[in-house]
Amino acid sequence: MSQSHTATAQLAPAVKRKIIVVCLCAAVGGFLFGYDTSVINGAVDSIAGT
């Protein structure tokens, strides 16, 4: 029992780091998607106005 508990304790920081990296990548991807959508929308409005 002691060995499996030790292995889990050693694995936890690596898993936590991977979860944080995945969440940060998803957040940045969502931000870039929203930013790109607003830029395209602004360009379409500008082109349609001419």
Annotated domain spans of the chain: 1-50
Q: Other C-beta atoms within 10 Å of 32: how many?
A: 10
Written as one letter, the residue type at 31 is F
pLDDT score for 25? 98
Nearest Cα to Cα of residue 11 among 22, 3, 25, 24: 3
Q: Whole-prediction pTM value?
A: 0.63
pLDDT score for 5? 65
Q: How do residues 1-50 score in pLDDT, each as one tens digit?
A: 556 666 566 668 889 999 999 999 999 999 999 999 988 888 887 888 66
pLDDT score for 45? 79
